[in-house]
Structure 1
Amino acid sequence: MAAADGPGPTCVLGIDLGTTSVKAALVTGTERGLALAQSCSRETQAHSDSPGAAPQGMEQDVQKIIRALNECLAALPQQQLQQVTHIGISGQMHGVVFWKSDKGCKWSESGPGPAFEADKVSHLVTWQDGRCSPTFLTSLPLPQSHVSLATGFGCATVFWYSRNRLKNSGFPVHLLPEVGDPGSIAGRTTCAWHGIPQGAKVGIALGDFQCSVYSCLTERTDAVLNISTSAQLTISMPLGFQPPEAPDPSSAVTYFPYFNGDYLAVAASLNGGNVLAAFVGMVAQWAQELGFQVQESAIYPRIIQAALAQKHSKLSVQPTIFGERHLPELLASVSSIGASELSLGHVTRALCRGLVENLCSMFPVQQLQELGVSRILGSGSALARNEVLRQEVERIFPFPVLYGKDVDAAVGAAMVMFHSK
């Protein structure tokens, strides 16, 4: 990591409020650059099956997310937290939370020090939410943006509430936050927090995707492939690139605003590790229906081991059980089924290959080559723990693939604060 020129913060806390976990990272700055001093992550287990949730809704309990954040900070060294001067915040993108007026949190002294808890807030309606049907989305005004509106996007969700739950129709523009520059200061901490001094500067919230890319992307010829809950393949566009003025709803590639006026070309698939998790859940359910109790945590390593024994499979799996934003009604399918390839190993191998092929179909190799890609940086929890996925990435993409590069949204959020004094 390179440090910013001139004097600046010496210890920054980066926070990433992810889809399934929360992470906090302490990054320190020295004359020799930036270094990760300490980090901690906690599963949020925040998914909510609220009886009031909409059909196909995907909501999370905000209190559980904040509780996981407080647990992360409580696990970090107090001595280093006391040196924090800036806080960078990142998190899962597109979703929306509502809170009342100046409420939204309350401070508690019940633990080792002051901590805030969620108060008078709605559930988080996440980016995975499916309540906005294609018909509903086409009834909305066209956005003045190059990005198409999709279900799970906060503004679409607000429109849905205005038509289905709120008294007045029309979009409440006053609810939208002001857009600021990355790295700019949103405010200061009002209380000491897990040892962090009162008055520490807090940066505006940043997208977890951009922060993840920022933490690892050093060359414009590198593409970043991330497979975690979902999957993304991205590359930094050439200097001076400007996206089209109007969105193309049929395009699988979206241009995300990045830092310093740059843009990322992103193929953002809704299907990644969540598909593998659904497959494992299906196997566990079948076993239970046959009278056997098998823990899902025991199934995953076994099916991966079985797939490693099958180097090839003629099975073809289109794994898009969650659709795609540019094709929301897309379903999954299995074809080329032969009697000799019905083992769990064959199916798992084909499923992993299908996930990578789906991403490649969204951002074709030829297009990557035209943009000058020379290497792929592989990241994400699903890719890290699944050797079959890594084999399929290396088979499908004709570029060297580098694993083990630090790709971390919490670290990226901290780095932005260092580099944007």
Structure 2
Amino acid sequence: MDKNILSIDIGTSSVKISIVSIHNNSYEIKSQSKCYYDTQRIRANNLPPNYSQQNVKIIFEAIDNALKSIKFDGQIDSITVCGQMHSCVLWNHRLFDEPFDPQNLRFDMISDNYDWTDGRCNEEFLKTLPKPDSFADKVSSGFGCATLFWLKRFKPDYLNQFDRCGTIMDWFVCLLCRLNIVSISIHNAHAWAYLDPIKPGWNLDILKQAEFPVHLLPKPVESNVIVGQTQFQWHSIIKPGIPVYVAIGDLQAMMFLAFKDNPDAIVLNMSTAAQICRLLVDKDLTLKIPRKSQLPIQSYDYYPFKNNEYLLVAPSLNGGNVLQSFMGFIQSTVKCLTNNDLTRTEIWEKLFHQFPTEFSNNDQSDEENFISIKPTLFGERHDLNSVFTVNISGGKQPSLFNIINCLCFELIQNVFNMMPNVSETIQNNFKQKIQTKLICTGSVIANNPILQRSLLLVIRRILYENNENKNNNDMLLLSNLLQSSLIDIEYVDKCDADVGCFILTKGAMIRRMDVNRNLMLFINGRPLPASSSISFSAIQIRDRISGRQIPLRIMARRVG
């Protein structure tokens, strides 16, 4: 029988919803909907420029509109949610006392969403925080625990009105299920800092000693656990009684989709931000993740993924958001000079159409050396003092095409610089005539020929600068990487986190197969029928009165 999953991705700039039907080991996307936030309304006003807070009411309205517009007549069997890993929302448990009414939800009992771009925790403040006991032993601004430390120190009265917190997705899951106890996945808890994903558990002793409000912290659970069931009817899609999984990280969800058939690939994702990712599999359980503070450079991280797998990630804060800001600058300039209103889409279309032929020719040399751009408009977590700069030399006057071409090139170069072993892998594979698979995800790069050309130029620079003999036959391959079988670049527009979210969750389900007819499975002394389907990580047995969790005993006994 087909199973239909409603999967929701609560992103930084939009909400994406997919309804996916599973049949055996295959799936089909039945319906999709996407709703962008109102950029003027979602940001809180009158805040310092380095603060970044999103209005939860606007996010909720986007979810409501996306649900309203999706087309599906069937029954939803489960719900999965993913989104902004570092985000932090606070609320009061009384928020869910009243019956759900999307028109009268008490948003005065909910804080703003402090998102991952928030920079209120400057370097001086971060130095005053205790060191986490985890391989992620450095805290960055925008991390949930850093935000809570800041609120505790500078806005204690404001903080005291709340008694619950989680990511924006955790809040939404609690809303769907009217949960009093907040659960957070290992993915998202790790992104908050002060969590050891190996145990797993919060660094409670460290936090208590630093007078952190530990009573607010959600409960960490594995990333494939059902935490509740929907409690109300919402449009025609959501009905009472639908199982809801704990929310997971959007990056892990997207990377699961990207690595599913290409575990050895290098993945470059460019959406609002940008990341380069690689998959690490600890097959024999001997992998020792180094401490962040002990890494030779501080620009990459290890993220928990699933089972004994980790993601090696270079997370740049600068991606499509920088290009969006530049388009906004062009918009305002055109408006000021001509009184014409152009949308950002129209500007991109004109750039693509008019982009000179020589700029799209991959035989061209790297960017003109008379202009250079440092594209870190939003800084970087490993370099809080990083700024956006433009340098023009030689008395030349750059054109708009020179600038946008250079900006795209430097955005790609910046994220490659953050993970040097990727460049080393490309160089070594090329020397040994081994193919390098590079998967590019996100619509920002999948639909942008200027960024795609920039990627080729960056790869060519990596290979050229490492080539010891500039006259050998390899240099012919470098003249046009598109013709080289050693560099396989795939652009994937549809590598959506909401789709990856449901696949990652589906992968956690274990069906008891009839492998040995002489075995019977017992749970807490009771035989389990051979036809049963269970998820071991989702089983929780609790005393109805005390709420205490009862130990789970699973035993296989040979019978017959």
TM-score by length of 2: 0.68
The answer to whether residue 336 in structure 2 is matched with residue 279 in structure 1 is no
8 Å contact from structure 1 (residues 86, 417) kept in 2 = no
Larger Rg: 2
1:197-235 CA-to-partner distances (Å, cap 9, x unmatched) read 311111001011111111221222112111111101101
Structure 1's 217 and 161: CA in aligned 2 closer, same or farther, altered over 3 A?
same
Equivalent of 1:158, from 143, 148, 154?
148
1:339-379 CA-to-partner distances (Å, cap 9, x unmatched) read 44510011110110000010111112434447998211111
TM-score by length of 1: 0.89
Q: Which residue of 2 aligns with 1:69?
A: 63
Q: Which residue of 1 aligns with 2:215?
A: 174
Q: Which residue of 1 aligns with 2:472?
A: none
Displacement of 1:281: 1.7
Q: Which residue of 2 aligns with 1:149?
A: 139
Displacement of 1:290: 3.7
Query: AA paired with 2:232?
Result: C
> Structure 1: how far apart are the matches of 2:388 and 2:155?
32
> Structure 1: how far apart are the matches of 2:51 and 2:333?
25
Equivalent of 1:138, from 123, 127, 148?
127
Structure 1's 15 and 48: CA in aligned 2 closer, same or farther, altered over 3 A?
closer
Structure 1's 327 and 307: CA in aligned 2 closer, same or farther, altered over 3 A?
farther
Report 1:69-148 matches (<5 A). Answer: 69-80=63-74, 83-103=75-95, 118=107, 120-147=109-136, 148=138
Displacement of 1:293: 3.4
8 Å contact from structure 1 (residues 222, 373) kept in 2 = no
Query: AA paired with 1:301?
Result: E
Equivalent of 1:253, from 300, 321, 327?
300
8 Å contact from structure 2 (residues 439, 490) kept in 1 = yes
Report 1:263-274 matches (<5 A). Answer: 263-274=310-321
> Structure 2: how far apart are the matches of 1:33 and 1:141?
47
8 Å contact from structure 1 (residues 100, 121) kept in 2 = yes
> Structure 2: how far apart are the matches of 1:14 and 1:116?
23
1:150-173 CA-to-partner distances (Å, cap 9, x unmatched) read 111111111111111104882111
Structure 1's 55 and 76: CA in aligned 2 closer, same or farther, altered over 3 A?
closer
1:176-200 CA-to-partner distances (Å, cap 9, x unmatched) read 1111111111111111333333111
Query: AA paired with 1:56?
Result: N
> Structure 2: how far apart are the matches of 1:163 and 1:368?
45
Structure 1's 32 and 255: CA in aligned 2 closer, same or farther, altered over 3 A?
closer
Looking at secondary structure, tell me which structure has more helix per residue. Answer: 2
The answer to whether residue 452 in structure 2 is matched with residue 390 in structure 1 is yes
1:372-409 CA-to-partner distances (Å, cap 9, x unmatched) read 98211111121123110011112323632101363111
Report 1:18-417 matches (<5 A). Answer: 18-31=11-24, 33-45=26-38, 48-51=42-45, 53-80=47-74, 83-103=75-95, 118=107, 120-147=109-136, 148-167=138-157, 170-195=211-236, 196-218=238-260, 219-239=262-282, 240=285, 241-245=287-291, 247-248=293-294, 250-290=297-337, 292-297=339-344, 298-311=346-359, 313-314=367-368, 315-335=371-391, 337-340=393-396, 342-364=398-420, 365-369=422-426, 374-397=436-459, 399-404=487-492, 406-417=494-505
1:125-172 CA-to-partner distances (Å, cap 9, x unmatched) read 110111111111111111112222111111111111111110488211
1:296-318 CA-to-partner distances (Å, cap 9, x unmatched) read 42323333444454525312221
SS of the aligned residue for 1:301 comes to helix
> Structure 2: how far apart are the matches of 1:327 and 1:32?
44
Runs of 4+ aligned residues of structure 1 deviating over 6 Å after TM superposition are: 370-373
Displacement of 1:49: 4.4
Unaligned stretches of 5+ in structure 1?
Answer: 1-6
> Structure 2: how far apart are the matches of 1:235 and 1:373?
16
8 Å contact from structure 1 (residues 223, 373) kept in 2 = no
Query: AA paired with 1:400?
Result: D
Q: Which residue of 2 aligns with 1:3?
A: none
Q: Which moved more, 1:249-258 or 1:88-97?
A: 249-258
Q: Which moved more, 1:93-102 or 1:363-372?
A: 363-372
SS of the aligned residue for 1:277 comes to helix
> Structure 2: how far apart are the matches of 1:334 and 1:110?
47
Q: Which moved more, 1:26-35 or 1:123-132?
A: 26-35
SS of the aligned residue for 1:22 comes to strand
> Structure 1: how far apart are the matches of 2:54 and 2:96?
15
Structure 1's 409 and 373: CA in aligned 2 closer, same or farther, altered over 3 A?
farther
SS of the aligned residue for 2:239 comes to coil
> Structure 2: how far apart are the matches of 1:193 and 1:259?
32
Q: Which moved more, 1:12-21 or 1:42-51?
A: 42-51
Structure 1's 55 and 389: CA in aligned 2 closer, same or farther, altered over 3 A?
closer
